[in-house]
Amino acid sequence: MQSALPADEQTQKLQLRILIADDHEMVLETFAIYLTSGSDMNVTMAKTLDEALQLIAQKGPFDVVLLDLNMPGMNGIAGLKLALKANVGKPVAILTGNPSPRMLDEIMAIGAAGIILKTTPARSLGNAIRFMHAGEYYMPIELIRDRTQVNNMSSKGKLS
């Protein structure tokens, strides 16, 4: 059975709609170039939280939203809460350089779909996005190891 949609429209229907919001143009462009090099992702970019929220309002919820934790307008976790509400039940994840264990706990507690480090290899980025789109939580193994070490140290009384 063939689809009634033209080939271009079929491809668009199969593509994940990704919104990346980061105030660093190099990060935006690098991620967008890599993610659109495959055929399954369509990337929209924003430089501020306000711009990201406007795009969500105009274009409807995105399949996955990636937000820079420290870009203009985020105000830390407050911006994540706004984006989660705006993207109505679809995954919103945080992009960051080096989050503190406390920040990781807050991000997870609020309901983010995951955390992507800006040092994530480009070859892993698409898989992380697909994983979150499938309803799973994504966190790089190095963050899990760091959290485990901090938890072990605190349970042994080595942290104050």
Q: Could you read off the pLDDT of 112-153 as tens digits, one per residue?
A: 999 999 988 888 899 999 999 999 999 988 877 766 555 554
pLDDT at residue number 2: 44
Q: Are 8 and 2 within 8 A, CB to CB? A: no
Average pLDDT over residues 48-60: 98
Average pLDDT over residues 32-42: 90
Length of the chain: 160
What's the pLDDT tens digit per position in 75-111? 989 999 999 999 999 999 999 988 888 888 899 999 9
Per cent of the chain over pLDDT 70 is 82
Q: Hey, what are 146's tokens? A: 């760091």
CATH architecture of 13-155: 3-Layer(aba) Sandwich (3.40)
Three-state secondary structure readout of 74-119: CCCHHHHHHHHHHCCCCCEEEEECCCCHHHHHHHHHHCCCEEEECC
- Looking at per-residue pLDDT, the higher value among 80 and 13 belongs to 80
Residue 86 neighbours by CB distance under 10 Å: 19
pLDDT, averaged across the chain = 86
